[in-house]
Structure formats: C-alpha cells, structure tokens
C-alpha cells in the first residue's frame, strides 16, 4: 500500500448511539463537552440500503471542541430493532464501548453514586489505579510522582463508557479535555470491540485492508495481573485477554508523544472461553452504542478493496443522512462498520 493510501483513513470518527428520543441524550452528552452539529434524515428504504434497517431515521452529529475524531452520532430510529446491549457484561462478543479522558474522575463517580441512590440502572467499577506505560519502573511512593491513570467503567442502558484520568504525565495529541464542560472530559479517545480468534487472522483486515497503524500487539491482561481488567471484563481466576490496538496512520509506533487518539482496541479472548455472542444487539437499529464510523479519502477505492477482502457483507455507496458519500460492511470478525468520504 502506498503512503498516500495509508494516510487516507483517520482515527475513529464517530460512535453511533441508537436513542428513543434526542433531548435527554443531548443533555447527557453536553455534560461531557459535546455540542449539536449537523442533523439529517433518511427514509426507511434508504436506511435499509445503508444500514440494513427498515425504519426511517433522524440523526444528530455531536461535536467536541475542534476534534476531528471521537464524535457522536445520535440515531433516532422510528422503529428500533433491538433494545441494545444495555448494562450487559463487557465479556461478550459484539460488545462496544467508548473511552474518554477526564480531568475529574471523582466528580463523575459522585454522579454515579447519586444516580444509583435514586434507582437509575447503572453498573460501574470504582476508579482503579493502573500503570500503563513504563511498568518496569520502580515506584518511589511519596518521593517521586505517581505515574498512571485512574480508570473506571460506566454502563447505562444507552451508553457504555470507560473514563480515565492521567496522573504524572500528558500526551499532547491523545484526548483534549473540555474544561468548560461539567464533567471535564475529552472527545472519545478510543473505542473497543471483543473478538475470539486465536489465529489473529481477522486482525489483518484492520491493518491490511483499512490501512490502520498497528501500534500495540499481544498485550496480555489477566485476572491476576490487573484489578481493573478483572473487574471491567468480569474475568474469572485464570482467565485472560489479549489486546491489539490500531491507530490513525498519523500516529506513531515508537514515539509516545506523537500518539494520537481515535484508537481501536481489539480485546481478544482465547477461544477456549465460552463467550456469549450479542452482535444482533450492537448493530444499526439497536439502541445504545451500535455502530462505529471511519472517515476516508477515496471512498470508491476503499469500497473496492473491502469487496475484494474476506468481509461478510458490503453495501453500495450511497448518500447518508448528512449528505455524505457512505457505505457499510460487516468485517470478518462480525462487527458492522460504516465509512464516509472526508470532505
């Protein structure tokens, strides 16, 4: 693939969220620093062509400061097809979630505890301390800065989120916090999916066909090694998962300070573990987080390349609800994706 082709895709553009009505969703995401952008509609027959859903659609794109990735598309289906993943375990095939950086994880925990006190349906973990980079560095508590993150899971009927706060370090291009927002959070810095594929064959699609940059590979997290990983992914003793990450090609494998947000996390469980499959609850038409999009340059070339790969299904290129050239496909691992032409 040429250099021009490699840079034709960017980081994760949108997390698409199926909702029954927009007002409460807009109010919620405004607390995280998002604001209303474009709005658009599709008739049921066009929505079926692009998303496989026989329902008319109204969508609202939410922006976050001047971010070119990690945006939100609220999708109001006239006839939703599924209630979505809701607060189901993160340890399922078909799982989707979105992660944001925050400057005040304890304030978000305050809201979680208030919500639980009035009976709202919420699952969460406490903010675990995790050392992500330079793990072999010897800690000198109370003498040198603590370098790591506090990481917390928040599951609600229409939102599956991980929130993290950094301590002792910064990454200039990995999440820009909106300090004017009530919850002081960034755009979505990374999103995730769960697969089972011991051969790692399905991972090649993201690197070789989509042209993403593979930056971390075969990073193992076990019940014993990570209290946060154990709690977030409901690990049992002896269980583990393996992480591979794919970035915007403008990111860097070797220079941490050049790392860009918009990352795709693929959590791979060994095939020996019996995982429930919930793909039908996390695709367009479903409520909650049900679709991810990428923005690309040269959409016809991408469509041709994807059709020639091992994908399960590809739509024709048509105009989406925002007037953008777009098409959808089901990747070899079973996840539904949509690409749209960068303006």
Q: Look at residue 65 and give its three-state secondary structure.
A: coil
- Integer Cα distance of 88 and 80 in angstroms: 18
Name the residue with tokens 């976050």: 64
Whether the per-residue pLDDT at 3 is higher than 60: the answer is: no
Q: Encode pLDDT of 41-58 as tens digits.
A: 999 999 999 999 999 999
Q: Look at residue 269 and give its three-state secondary structure.
A: coil
Q: Residue 161's closest CA among 301, 34, 325?
A: 34
Asked if 301 and 288 count as a contact pair (C-beta separation under 8 A), the reply is no
pLDDT for 137: 78
* Residue, of 194 and 256, whose pLDDT is higher: 194
* Full set of structural domains in the chain with CATH: 8-341 (3.10.180.10)
- Integer Cα distance of 326 and 306 in angstroms: 13
- Contacts of residue 261, defined as CB under 8 A and 6 or more positions apart, other chains included, come to 11, 69, 70, 101, 173, 174, 175, 186, 187, 188, 189, 190
Output the CA–CA distances (angstroms, integers) from residue 27 to 185, 247, 307, in the order listed: 15, 30, 39
* Residue, of 7 and 333, whose pLDDT is higher: 333
pLDDT for 1: 43
Q: Encode pLDDT of 61-105 as tens digits.
A: 999 999 999 999 999 999 999 999 999 999 999 999 999 999 999
Across-strand partners of 98? Answer: 161, 191
- pLDDT, the chain, mean: 95
Q: Residue 131's closest CA among 252, 257, 226?
A: 226
- Integer Cα distance of 49 and 67 in angstroms: 29
Asked if 72 and 61 count as a contact pair (C-beta separation under 8 A), the reply is yes
- Integer Cα distance of 159 and 17 in angstroms: 8
């Amino acid at each position: 693939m040429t250099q021009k082709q490699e840079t034709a895709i960017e980081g994760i553009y949108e997390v698409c969220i199926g909702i029954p009505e927009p007002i409460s969703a807009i109010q919620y995401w405004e607390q995280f620093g998002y604001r209303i952008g474009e709005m658009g509609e599709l008739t049921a027959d066009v929505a079926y062509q692009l998303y496989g859903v026989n329902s008319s659609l109204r969508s609202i794109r939410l922006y976050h400061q001047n971010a070119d990735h990690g945006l939100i598309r609220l999708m109001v289906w006239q006839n939703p097809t599924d209630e979505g993943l809701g607060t189901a375990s993160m340890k399922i095939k078909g799982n989707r979630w979105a992660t944001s950086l925050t400057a005040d994880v304890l304030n978000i925990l305050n809201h979680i505890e208030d919500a639980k006190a009035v009976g709202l349906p919420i699952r969460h973990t406490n903010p675990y301390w995790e050392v992500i980079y330079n793990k072999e560095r010897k800690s000198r508590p109370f003498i040198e800065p603590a370098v790591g993150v506090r990481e917390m899971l928040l599951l609600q009927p229409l939102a599956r989120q991980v929130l993290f706060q950094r301590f002792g370090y910064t990454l200039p291009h990995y999440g820009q916090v909106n300090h004017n927002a009530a919850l002081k959070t960034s755009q979505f810095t990374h999103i995730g999916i769960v697969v089972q594929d011991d051969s790692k064959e399905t991972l090649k699609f993201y690197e070789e066909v989509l042209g993403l940059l593979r930056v971390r590979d075969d990073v193992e997290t076990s019940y014993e090694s990570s209290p946060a990983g154990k709690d977030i992914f409901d690990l049992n003793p002896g269980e583990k998962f393996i992480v591979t990450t794919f970035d915007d090609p403008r990111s860097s494998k070797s220079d941490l300070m050049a790392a860009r947000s918009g990352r795709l996390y693929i959590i791979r469980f060994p095939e020996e573990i019996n995982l429930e499959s919930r793909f039908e609850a996390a695709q367009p038409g479903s409520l909650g987080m049900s679709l991810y999009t990428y923005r690309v340059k040269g959409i016809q070339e991408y469509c041709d390349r994807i059709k020639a790969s091992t994908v399960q299904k590809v739509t024709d290129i048509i105009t989406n609800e925002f007037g953008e050239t777009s098409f959808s496909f089901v990747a070899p691992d079973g996840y539904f994706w949509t690409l749209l032409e960068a303006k």
